[in-house]
Chain A
Amino acid sequence: MPLRQKGTIGLEMLKLFLWLRYLRKKKIVLLSIAAVALSVSLLIIVASLFSGFINAFEQSAVETIGDVVLSAPTKFSKYSMLIERLEQIGAVEAATATLSAQGLLHLGKGNVRAVNIWGIEPARRAKVTGFKQSLLRQKHSPGDLSFEIPPAVLLRKNEAAGDKTGGFVGIGVLGEPDEKTDEYDVKTIEKMIGRSVVLTTGAVIDQNPGAPGQGETAERFRRKTVEFTIADIVFTGVYDLDKRFVYLPIAYFQSILYPNESEGVADQIQIKLRDNTQAELAIAQIRGVWQVFAADQLGWDENFIRYTQIETAKQMQSRYVVELRKQMGILLLIFGVVSLSVVVLIFCIFYMIVRLKQRDIAIMKSCGAASSSVACIFLGFGVCVGILGSGVGAALGYVVTKNINVVEEWIRIIFGLKLWKSSVYMFSKIPNEVDWTSAFNIILLAVIAAAMGTLIPAVVAARTRPVEILRYE
């Protein structure tokens, strides 16, 4: 082995030896590792919780309204034909129609709620969204979703199938989550399946000429009150959906709102795309089909068709997601700036080590070690501290993030403080997925910061003059 190579290996071994020795002997170094770990774990937890929330927010939209939503400027008929045409596009896996309105729901004595009503096609909806998984009674049943009232309920009430219309009601419409645990009393609420409730809503049913001379058209608004039976309960885990939504069969709902319409009426088409489909391409295709359909079948002119919004579910949420990402950035910036003090800490510790170990450095230099090699010893040691601290911090961040719901529950039990409430933060559980991209960036920055902290002490060490240090002895 050449002498130069031998020398290099020897220096590498010396570096390793010194690093390990300083780690073992200079307990104060553990403080810098602890500080790096603390900052890294905090930043990873904050980034993961925010990213998890944003992902859950976007995913809940996809699971509720599908991948792409076509929202017409007004209600339109012949939606079955449109769905048929859409499903012939390669990019579209399934589509379903929705008719929406708002109403008041009378659930029982003194219990009235303002609700959003969606007329839906349950079987088709289950293909487009994750709706089936949200139904307490039917989620495990093998057949298609339906609004049929359970036979046991009909038997109990001595009614025949078809006497009453079934509907689905959000779990939050029927009850409030427990104040302390934020959990619904599912068993009690499930007993409400089969209960009859009264819903009132309405729509403009026609336009009449206004009074002579007024030059206006007065639209006749029709209120409609209907009774239906709760056939199932929807529990999506998204508070606003569970709290405000009631679902009825679209055909039945249409017959209430627009009794004079002979063909199916909807105001929105929700679409599921095939896997690995490019959203932009799919939207362009869907827009093409819609433009032809609206012009040929509905007789709409080009300007009116242009008011139709065709967007992915994620695009529909993008305004809020941008805002959430901004809040996350600001929070990470604040904690990142405060974490800069870790650099100061590492500097102080390493400066102290360099001052205390001047004789070691002088001996090394007098044995032929170059200044750059000496600097590398301390820089490398700083990087080691960064890697060790980041590793511990990442592990801590991972454990806390993954168990954040348990941590939150323990805080509730010990301090009586319920930090996470679905009524405030939408979801019944805290999203607990680690954001590895952010975590990787944070770790990288931590290692760089640790190296930066050691930079000046390393230069001081490199500039040590053996003759001055060893002269006295």
Chain B
Amino acid sequence: MYKIVLAFRYLLKRRITYFAVAAVTLCVFIVVVVMTVMTGLVTDFKQKNLSFTGDCVVGTESLVGFTYYEDFISVLEKTDFVEAVSPVIKSYALLTPQGRDLNIGVEIMGIDPVRHSQVTGFGKTLYYRNDDASKAFAPNYDPNLLGCVLGIDLAMERDAKSGYPYEASPAKAAFSITCFPLTAKGALAKAGAGLINTQTFYYSDISHSGLARVDGSTVYLPFEQAQLLCGMAGPIKRASAIHIKFKPNIKLQAGREKVTSLWHRFRQEKAGEEQADLLATVTVQSWKDNRQAFIAAMEKEQTMMIVMFGFVGITTVFIVFVVFYMIISHKTKDIGILKSVGVSNVDIIELFSGFAFLVGLSGTCIGLLGGWLFLLKINRIENWLFEHFKYQLWDRTIYAIGDIPNQTDIRVLLVITGSAIAACLLGALVPAWQAATSMPVETLRANQL
């Protein structure tokens, strides 16, 4: 009991302790704000990638694609862990708006909009056909025309508030799309006959996935048309990937492993069949692996930020050390008396550790509260700054970011709280040890009184 009483007494009576609390508060406040915003950005980015990809991708990097994809889709659809599958054609193409002297290098994705919407969030990214993805490639000004869906940043410019100048219905616009059709061996399919395939498509919708690279460079086409353009619609048809969505109760890694095992078996069955060599380039990846190149960069930046805060946090450890050193050097007589009435060394260490815990806890609580309040208002503060000073944390015409993420993550808060208290305990360790090992006979000597 005396430990708790003394710890509270030191906390309340020794004003120098307030400085340690203030230092902890400052650090916790900054770290909470920065890490909440960063974690929010990373989580949001991951969620958008998952929505774009689906749970798992069986595919190849080669633009030649791979054969027998329909057979493997049948295999997948018979399993009890797959909810939906969608074959996809991926390639590069030249997009030319009709009537303009302009070529734009784009990535094309040939999809069946209904199947793809069952696997990914494609349907929800559409603007005009948001409620009915089956009509994604049917322009509402003439549903008989061959439609294409443009990544939103190909179609329009983002404004300073991350908004787009949507129109009530898509304007009638035609685009020529040109590809190199490739044979199953990767050679140019139309050698001696112009080498390229060109097809005119009409603007039917826009897709806003929230991924800047995707929205700025992807054109979605009907699956069969894309297959024809890329030369994959031969007697043995080819596709670039199969996107898979698992049933809700299936864990990502378990699902991926099951698909991998099915794929290996499938490859063995197909060995020896015509163009089966193309199956060798196919990999099975979870969405995280598939989008790793993009996600990893953000995760690394988050890690670097944590490391830098760790370095700066060392100062807080120093402050706690100094404050405790001062308090203990002023309280040698208290410690001497305590020890002379039988308190053990361990109890002394526990007393000051408890005190350090209180310092850490109170600093953390104030810091968390301040951080939470600041985060609550962060978007309002930014809007105010933009309205009065044209200042934004991120220029929304450059960065594809909407509101500043301000949803606190309980795991992040727990880690910050734990780290702050650990830093205080660390800072108090040496002074507490010194207090514990001090000799009562020296501290209570007559000339000390």
Give Cα A419–Cα B308 distance, bound, in whole angstroms.
Answer: 14
Give Cα A39–Cα B180 distance, bound, in whole angstroms.
Answer: 56
Please give, as numbers and ranges, the residues of chain A lying within 8 Å of B23 by CB-CB distance.
341, 344-345
A198 touches B22 (CB 8 A): no
Chain B nearest CB, measured from A319 CB (Å): 7
Query: Restricting to A311-354, which residues have a CB under 8 Å from any CB of B?
Result: 319-320, 322-323, 326, 330, 334-335, 337-342, 344-345, 347-349, 351-352
How many residues from A make CB contacts under 8 Å with B? Answer: 66
B5 is an interface residue with CB less than 8 A from chain A: no
A200 touches B315 (CB 8 A): no
B27 touches A341 (CB 8 A): yes
**Interface segment out of the listed B194-202, B249-257, B407-415:** B194-202
A202 touches B96 (CB 8 A): yes
Please give, as numbers and ranges, the residues of chain A lying within 8 Å of B63 by CB-CB distance.
110-112
Please give, as numbers and ranges, the residues of chain A lying within 8 Å of B293 by CB-CB distance.
423
Q: Mark A23-55 against chain B: 1 for CB-CB distance below 8 A, else 0.
A: 000001001101100110010001000000000
Q: Which residue of A lies closest to B194 (CB)?
A: A225
Give Cα A351–Cα B319 distance, bound, in whole angstroms.
Answer: 12
Give Cα A63–Cα B92 distance, bound, in whole angstroms.
Answer: 29
B376 is an interface residue with CB less than 8 A from chain A: no
A104 touches B178 (CB 8 A): yes
Which of B64, B195, B313 contacts A225 (CB under 8 A)?
B195
Q: Which residue of B lies closest to A200 (CB)?
A: B196
Chain A nearest CB, measured from B299 CB (Å): 10
Which of B187, B315, B326, B398 contacts A39 (CB under 8 A)?
B315
A101 is an interface residue with CB less than 8 A from chain B: yes
Known A-B contacts A102-B103, A104-B92, A352-B326; A112 and B27 likewise in contact (beta carbons under 8 Å): no
**Interface segment out of the listed A119-127, A216-224, A366-374:** A216-224
B196 touches A223 (CB 8 A): yes
Give Cα A162–Cα B187 distance, bound, in whole angstroms.
Answer: 26
Chain B nearest CB, measured from A121 CB (Å): 22
B389 is an interface residue with CB less than 8 A from chain A: no
Give Cα A208–Cα B316 distance, bound, in whole angstroms.
Answer: 75
B159 is an interface residue with CB less than 8 A from chain A: no
B319 touches A104 (CB 8 A): no
Most buried by B among A103, A334, A341, A423: A341
B304 touches A419 (CB 8 A): yes
B105 touches A103 (CB 8 A): yes
Number of A-B contacts (CB under 8 A): 167
A348 touches B19 (CB 8 A): yes
Chain B nearest CB, measured from A378 CB (Å): 16
A42 touches B312 (CB 8 A): yes
Please give, as numbers and ranges, the residues of chain B lying within 8 Å of A236 by CB-CB distance.
none
Which of B16, B104, B309 contacts A348 (CB under 8 A)?
B16
Give Cα A74–Cα B321 distance, bound, in whole angstroms.
Answer: 69
Query: Restricting to B89-128, which residues have a CB under 8 Å from any CB of A?
Result: 91-94, 96, 98-101, 103-107
A74 touches B101 (CB 8 A): yes
Give Cα A46–Cα B312 distance, bound, in whole angstroms.
Answer: 13
A202 touches B103 (CB 8 A): yes
Q: Which residue of B lies closest to A349 (CB)?
A: B322
Chain A nearest CB, measured from B410 CB (Å): 23
Please give, as numbers and ranges, the residues of chain A lying within 8 Å of B402 by CB-CB distance.
none
B30 touches A337 (CB 8 A): yes
Chain A nearest CB, measured from B31 CB (Å): 8
Give Cα A349–Cα B27 distance, bound, in whole angstroms.
Answer: 19
B34 is an interface residue with CB less than 8 A from chain A: yes
Query: Restricting to B390-415, which residues have a CB under 8 Å from any CB of A?
Result: 393-395, 398-399
Please give, as numbers and ranges, the residues of chain A lying within 8 Å of B303 by CB-CB distance.
417
Chain A nearest CB, measured from B307 CB (Å): 10
B443 is an interface residue with CB less than 8 A from chain A: no
Q: Mark A198-220 against chain B: 1 for CB-CB distance below 8 A, else 0.
A: 10111110000000000001110
A384 is an interface residue with CB less than 8 A from chain B: no
Give Cα A106–Cα B395 distance, bound, in whole angstroms.
Answer: 37
Most buried by A among B96, B104, B106: B96
Give Cα A218–Cα B23 distance, bound, in whole angstroms.
Answer: 70
B105 touches A204 (CB 8 A): no
Please give, as numbers and ranges, the residues of chain A lying within 8 Å of B34 by CB-CB distance.
334
Query: Restricting to A219-243, which residues have a CB under 8 Å from any CB of B?
Result: 219, 221, 223, 225
B319 touches A345 (CB 8 A): yes
Known A-B contacts A104-B180, A109-B64; A330 and B393 likewise in contact (beta carbons under 8 Å): yes
A429 is an interface residue with CB less than 8 A from chain B: no
A344 touches B27 (CB 8 A): no
Chain A nearest CB, measured from B375 CB (Å): 14
B107 touches A114 (CB 8 A): yes
Please give, as numbers and ranges, the residues of chain A lying within 8 Å of B27 by CB-CB distance.
338, 341
A204 touches B101 (CB 8 A): yes
Give Cα A349–Cα B319 distance, bound, in whole angstroms.
Answer: 9
Which of A38, A103, A217, A340 contacts B26 (CB under 8 A)?
A340
B297 is an interface residue with CB less than 8 A from chain A: yes
A424 is an interface residue with CB less than 8 A from chain B: yes
Which of B64, B100, B105, B326 contacts A110 (CB under 8 A)?
B64
B163 is an interface residue with CB less than 8 A from chain A: no
Give Cα A225–Cα B304 distance, bound, in whole angstroms.
Answer: 47
Give Cα A292–Cα B101 distance, bound, in whole angstroms.
Answer: 26
A146 is an interface residue with CB less than 8 A from chain B: no
Which of A110, A221, A338, A341 contacts B96 (CB under 8 A)?
A221
Query: Restricting to B130-184, which residues have a CB under 8 Å from any CB of A?
Result: 176, 178-180, 182
Chain B nearest CB, measured from A188 CB (Å): 18
Please give, as numbers and ranges, the residues of chain B lying within 8 Å of A133 by CB-CB distance.
none
Most buried by B among A108, A115, A198: A198
Known A-B contacts A104-B178, A225-B194; A115 and B105 likewise in contact (beta carbons under 8 Å): yes
Q: Mark B334-363 against chain A: 1 for CB-CB distance below 8 A, else 0.
A: 000000000000000000000000000000
Which of A35, A110, A330 contacts B186 (CB under 8 A)?
A110
Please give, as numbers and ranges, the residues of chain A lying within 8 Å of B180 by CB-CB distance.
104, 106, 112, 198, 200
Which of A323, A335, A351, A417 contacts B300 (CB under 8 A)?
A417
Most buried by B among A108, A217, A322, A334: A334
Please give, as numbers and ranges, the residues of chain A lying within 8 Å of B198 by CB-CB distance.
223
Q: Which residue of B lies closest to A32 (CB)?
A: B318
Give Cα A31–Cα B321 distance, bound, in whole angstroms.
Answer: 10
B312 touches A352 (CB 8 A): no
Q: Mark B4-23 against chain A: 1 for CB-CB distance below 8 A, else 0.
A: 00000000000010010011
B314 is an interface residue with CB less than 8 A from chain A: yes
B221 is an interface residue with CB less than 8 A from chain A: no
A291 is an interface residue with CB less than 8 A from chain B: no
Please give, as numbers and ranges, the residues of chain B lying within 8 Å of A165 by CB-CB distance.
none
Please give, as numbers and ranges, the residues of chain B lying within 8 Å of A64 by CB-CB distance.
none
Which of A34, A203, A334, A355 contacts B30 (CB under 8 A)?
A334
Query: Restricting to A153-199, which residues have a CB under 8 Å from any CB of B?
Result: 198
A341 touches B188 (CB 8 A): no
Query: Restricting to A293-311, which residues have a CB under 8 Å from any CB of B?
Result: none
Question: What would be 28 A-B contacts, judged by CB atoms less than 8 Å apart?
Answer: A31-B322, A39-B315, A42-B308, A102-B105, A109-B64, A109-B187, A111-B186, A112-B63, A112-B91, A114-B93, A200-B178, A200-B195, A201-B103, A202-B94, A202-B103, A203-B101, A204-B100, A223-B178, A223-B196, A225-B194, A320-B398, A323-B394, A337-B30, A338-B26, A338-B313, A344-B19, A345-B318, A349-B322
Q: What residues make up the interface of A, taking CB atoms closer than 8 Å to B?
A: 28, 31-32, 34-35, 38-39, 42, 46, 74-75, 101-104, 106, 108-116, 198, 200-204, 217-219, 221, 223, 225, 244, 319-320, 322-323, 326, 330, 334-335, 337-342, 344-345, 347-349, 351-352, 355-356, 417, 419, 421, 423-424
A-B pairs, top 4 by smallest CB distance, nearest first, are A109-B186, A114-B105, A110-B186, A110-B64
8 other A-B residue contacts (CB within 8 Å) besides A112-B180, A345-B23: A110-B64, A114-B94, A221-B176, A225-B196, A338-B27, A348-B323, A352-B322, A419-B304
